[in-house]
Structures are given as C-alpha cells and as structure tokens.
C-alpha cells in the first residue's frame, strides 16, 4: 500500500527595523538596557557577551546577562537569568517584552542573534504560564533589529503543558 506524503509549510513573521533609532521609544529603552547588561556579562571562555532586558506587564524592567563556568553546562544564558530573576521576584507578573543584545571580543556582530533553543523553551513556558505572547527584540552590536510578536515565530512546534495532560 502506497501512502501519500504531504508537505507542511510553516512561515514566521518578524518586523525588521533598519537601526536602533527606528524603534519606538519603549523598545529603544529596553534594548539600551540589554546592551548595558552585555557589558557586565561573565564570559571569560567564549568572549561572547549577551545581555537581556525584560519589560514586565507591571512596567518594571529587569536585566540579566550570560554567566559562564569552566564546566560549560553549568553556565546560564542571559535570557534565562533575566526570566528566572523576574519570575522569582515578580511571580504573578507576566512578561511583556524581552530584548536581547550581544557583543563579541572576536568580531563585530552586525546581525541580530536569536535566543538559543533552551531559552526559547523557557520563553515559551512563560508565554503559556501567563497566557500572553512575549515580544522578542533581537539585536547585534549594530545593524538591523528583528522583532517577533511571540516565541511561536522562533519555536513553531513548542513543547508545553498541554502535551503533559
């Protein structure tokens, strides 16, 4: 018996801003805080510094940056540092927007860098927890900036609590 194979096509959508100055004021403020957080990242092994800033639904902004460790799996990405801090200190407040920026000691990064897979899954968890999409602003050191209206654009087949029932 021959089975008919079909193709599933998934498309995502991002707003692309030509520069930092093209962003709305609230997004510029948040991205500026992420860029500032880059400067205090602890990345002595990769020299790849990442900063994140989170705008909570109550208007508070919290930041985080990557924290490396000689035992590589023991480190933590900037996005998760900021998200875990936010939820630990504001457990009943959802995340409105997260901005991520990077800098490298080895090269100038002119393209937006997206969250890693583990960070995408954590962002998905908080979207599901608060039943509200989280905007994601992604930036390199210079150049274009990508903005996603939800983690679904970066993680279309996300694993979440509905799979565990």
Look up tokens 């939800």; give the residue. 150
Whole-number Å distance between alpha carbons of 69 and 75: 5
- Which residue, among 90, 34, 82, 80, has the nearest Cα to 59 in the 3D structure? 90
Look up tokens 């194979």; give the residue. 5
Nearby residues of 17 by Cβ (< 8 Å), 6 or more positions away: 23, 144, 145, 146, 147
Whole-number Å distance between alpha carbons of 118 and 89: 21
152 an active-site residue? no
Catalytic annotation, pick one of 29, 79, 125, 141? 79
Q: Which residues are catalytic?
A: 79
């Amino acid at each position: 018996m021959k089975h008919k194979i079909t193709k599933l096509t998934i498309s995502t959508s991002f707003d692309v801003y030509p520069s930092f100055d093209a962003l709305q004021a609230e997004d510029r403020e948040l991205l500026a805080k992420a860029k500032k957080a880059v400067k205090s990242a602890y990345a002595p092994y990769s020299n790849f510094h990442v900063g994140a800033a989170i705008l909570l639904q109550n208007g508070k902004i919290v930041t985080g940056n990557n924290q490396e460790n000689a035992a590589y799996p023991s480190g933590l990405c900037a996005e998760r540092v900021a998200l875990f801090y936010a939820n630990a200190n504001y457990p009943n407040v959802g995340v409105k927007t997260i901005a991520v920026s990077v800098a490298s000691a080895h090269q100038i990064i002119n393209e937006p860098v997206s969250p890693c897979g583990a960070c995408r899954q954590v962002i998905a968890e908080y979207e599901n927890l608060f039943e509200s999409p989280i905007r994601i602003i992604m930036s390199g050191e210079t150049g274009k900036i990508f903005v996603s209206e939800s983690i679904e654009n970066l993680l279309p087949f996300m694993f979440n609590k509905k799979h565990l029932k």
